[in-house]
Structure formats: structure tokens, C-alpha cells
Structure 1
Amino acid sequence: MSLVNATRSELTKQFSTAMWWILGIVLVAYVGSTAAGLAATFGAVATGAIGGDSAGAPPLPEEILPPVIYSLATAVGYVFPLLIGVIVVTGEFRHQTLTPTFLATPRRGVALGGKLVAGTVLGLLYAALAIVVTVGPGAGLLAAFGVDTKLDDSDIWAMIGRMVIAFVLWMLIGIGVGTLVRNQVAAVVGVIAFTQFLEPILRTVGGFVDGVTDVVRWLPGAASDALVGASIYTSFMGAQADDQIAWWAGGLVLLGYAVVLLVAGYLFSWRRDVS
């Protein structure tokens, strides 16, 4: 079977299940509500509608708010393409559908290639959903408080383009993890534990300890933020923007994680018997 046919088969397989749209709905609800809530809060604080001098806190600089709000699509939403990438592969091991897949596509490299192309399509779809529900409500609420949305700024649109790239790379990383770790529960729990607990803790510590900073800047979440070029984490949560690597280096680091995981998964797991 050719790569085109393998990709068509994978797309049919993925879009015939409910998981992709269930995670899509959760993505829209979670990222959209976060962007709307923070845009309203930060917009109100920056313009003095709430808080003010009596709050004792320094005013928020309005110029940083649009990129921070828009980048929430990746800063908090990257876990969704990562998870669906894991599930795309581990679901086949769990439900033992990989055997007919390999019978239809004996060349396992082609079968994996079909998953990568199908995963790229899903990554683009998830990126579109995340960007729409962050930029739309975020810009509307910022404008309502009189904050410049900067949607006429080419740098903002370049950042949005890099967000799309980040989503696709996270999807490929998820496929790599799923290829390497066959057990779906172990893979999903491991991904959630690392992305939602371990790395945030390390990055928080890195914001205060110089020796740790040199290490955490190369972690996948930090690389993703560097690629995008903006993040609520680097702006408000202790990490410093100056500690980030260049955006292109962040993209290469994230791509490197995907390549290493995919190659390791192919060599040590994908070629093994599945029964």
C-alpha cells in the first residue's frame, strides 16, 4: 500500500471515532474559557477598571497583553494535540487493530508514515480550533476595555503562524510517545504527569535558580514557548523571557524531540510483534 492510501486509511480511521471531536470540544471549552477569562481580567486591570492603586500591584503593561492572550492556544492547549497523538497509536495496540493495519500495509514504515501525515492534518485542525477560540474572544474582550488588539501587527500574525507549527510538532511528539510506549494508560498518564506537573515545577524552580535555568530552557514546553515567542508563563509566572532560546532554536528542539521519539519507537517497538 502506498503512503497516499495509508494516509487515507488513517484519516478514515481517526475521523470515524469519537475521540478526536471529544478532545476537540474539551480543547475549545478549556482554552476558550481561559483566554476569555484572562483577557477580561488583564484588560480590566491594565486599564484600571478593577484593582487600581488601592490594590498595591504594579499596572500591567497593555502592549504585552495581546501576544500573551493569543499564545494561550499553545501555552495551555498544547497538551491536546500531544494526547491525541498518543491515542492515535496506543489505541491500535489497546484494541488490537494494529494487526489488520499491518496486514493491509505490510511495510511498517509506510504505515507509520500514514499516521504522521494523518496526525499533521489533525494537528492543523486542532491549531485552527485553538487559535479561533483564543484570538477571537481574546481580541474582542481586550478591545472592549480599550486595549490595542495588535491584529494589524505583522509580528502577531507571525506568532500565530508559529503556533500552528507548534501544534503540529506536538502532535508528532505524541505519535512518537505512543509508538514507543505501547500501553495507553501508561503513555497518557506519563504525558499528563510530565506536562502538567513535572515540567511546570522544574520551570518554576528554574526561574529562581540559575543552574536549573540552563537545563529547563531545553525542555519541550519551554522550547514550544520559545518557538511561539510569547507565553503567560514567561510573562507572569516567574520565568524570564531572556532565559528563552531563539524561536527557530525552539522549533528545532521541539522537532528534535519528535524525531528522537519516532526513531526510537520505530526501532524498539513498532517493528516488534503486536500479538
Structure 2
Amino acid sequence: MWWLLGIVLGAYMVFMGVVMGFSLTTDPSSMSGSLGSGATLDGRQIAQTVYTLAVSVGYVFPLVIGALSMTGEFRHQTITPTLLAEPRRGRVLGAKLAVAGLLGTAYGVIGTAGAVLGGLPFLATKGDGTYLGDTGVLGDVVFSVVAIALWCVIGVGLGSLLTNQVAAVVVILAFTQFVEPVLRIGLTAIDPLQGVQKFLPGAAAEALAGSSLYSTSGMLSLLDRGWGAVVLLAYAALFALVGALTTLRRDVS
């Protein structure tokens, strides 16, 4: 499953890179392109938006594969021999988190590279340039990989908390594709809660990456990169800790 989801992620991000690269560089009124809010983007912003697409729309893949690495043990009942071989459950969880970080990094490279390759021809020929020599844009590319890697780690923590594989996947899909997008838009309409959306996991990941479809369009603002990293790491630690203190302490037969 891990390699299948990796292939799908790469293909999906190439497609999204093509779509966004084309749409943002072919606006009839400006070569800078524009998004739905009416905010006109310059060439650098377009490059940042396209290159970080994996964090904005592709993070469900590493999240799912991270969850499957834990829920699969319970679904196929391999958790019993696993814990017989290594009774220290904290070590088992730690090993899975470490491997998820490595696998997530691979997913980050695949997804980010797909977005870059998909959008590159349009940015180079119809836009203001690729901006791959810009240190700020390159930083966004690197931190996009880091953000995707952390999503995979969060998936392991979530899988340790929700061991039913179907339930975990349904929760992931519902939250990432519906709940959080609605919350991010809805919270901005409530004055006392406008800043809360910045601390949602998807928004924190985009803050770590440094750019997103939401922020460059002017629709929503993000935390600073450092705070984005702190919030995303906090989610990873919280899920793993709760899973370790609840599910992984139960008897396994």
C-alpha cells in the first residue's frame, strides 16, 4: 500500500501542478495570475503556491499511510507477534514513529517534486520565471517536505488512538476534506474566533511550508513558520501520547 499511495500522490501532484500552473499564469489581465478572492499574485507568489501544493491538498496520503502502519497491525492481528517480539510497547510506537518520519520524507519529496514538475513548464514559459534560484522559494520547497513528513508521523499517532482501520480512514478523510476546510472558512466569520483557524493542523502545516492556496489568495492568514512547526509537532506528540496511554495499554489477544 505504501508504494501504491506514493505513486498516486506523485501523479496527483503532477496533475495539480499542471492545473494550478496553467490557471495562475494564463489570467487574461495579468501574467501574475489571480485567485478567487480577487487578489493578484506576482510571479514569486505563484511559484510558492504551486510548489507547496502537496501541503495544501496532498497531505491526506502521508496521513493515511501513517495511520495504516498502526491500524494494519490490529486488522491483520500481527500486533500479537509484534508485542511478543518486543513487549515494550513504547519502543514499538517509537519505532513506528521513526519509520513514519523517513517514509513521510519520501512522500514529501515525491509530492513536492510532482507539484514542481507539473507547474514548472508554465512558470518558465508563460509566467515570470521558475524562481528556483530564489532562496525563499527553495526554503518553502524544503519545508514542504518536512511538513509532509510530520503528517505521516501524525498518522501513526492517530492510528495508535483509533485502531479500527476503517474508522481511522473515514475520520481522516472526513476531517481533511470537509471538517477543517469548513472550520477554517467559518471561524474567520466569527470575530472572537478568527485567530483560532491558524492553529488547526492543516493551517499549521501550511505555515511550516511558508505558503498555501489560502494565504496567497488573501483568504486566510498563517502563523509564522516557527510557530507552525511547534503546533504541528504538538499534534504529533498529543496523538502519540494519548494512544500510548490508552489503546497501547490494553490487553492484546
5+ residue gaps, structure 1, are 1-18
> Residue 241 of structure 2 corresponds to which residue in structure 1?
263
> Residue 11 of structure 1 corresponds to which residue in structure 2?
none
Is 1:205–1:212's contact at 8 Å kept on the other side of the alignment? Answer: no
Secondary structure in 2 matching 1:273: coil
> Residue 227 of structure 1 corresponds to which residue in structure 2?
208
> Residue 48 of structure 2 corresponds to which residue in structure 1?
67
> Residue 224 of structure 2 corresponds to which residue in structure 1?
246
Is 1:207–1:238's contact at 8 Å kept on the other side of the alignment? Answer: no
What's the CA shift for 1:60?
Answer: 4.2
Structure 1 or 2, whichever has the larger Rg, is 1
> Residue 43 of structure 1 corresponds to which residue in structure 2?
25
Residues in 1 aligned to 2:52 and 2:188: alpha-carbon distance in whole angstroms:
20
Deviations 1:140-172 (A, max 9, x none): 221110422111111111111211211121111
Alignment of 1:173-212 (within 5 A): 173-212=154-193
TM-score of the aligned structures, taking structure 1 as reference length: 0.85
What's the CA shift for 1:76?
Answer: 0.7
> Residue 9 of structure 1 corresponds to which residue in structure 2?
none
Residues in 2 aligned to 1:66 and 1:40: alpha-carbon distance in whole angstroms:
12
Residues in 2 aligned to 1:261 and 1:58: alpha-carbon distance in whole angstroms:
37
Residues in 2 aligned to 1:46 and 1:98: alpha-carbon distance in whole angstroms:
57
What do you get for the CA RMSD once the two structures are aligned? 1.9
Secondary structure in 2 matching 1:147: coil
What's the CA shift for 1:47?
Answer: 6.9
TM-score of the aligned structures, taking structure 2 as reference length: 0.92
Paired residue type of 2:13: V
5+ residue gaps, structure 2, are none
Paired residue type of 2:7: I
Deviations 1:191-215 (A, max 9, x none): 1111110110011123433323221
Residues in 2 aligned to 1:28 and 1:237: alpha-carbon distance in whole angstroms:
28
**Runs of 4+ in structure 1 displaced over 6 angstroms?**
none
The sequence identity of aligned pairs, in percent, is: 43
Paired residue total: 249
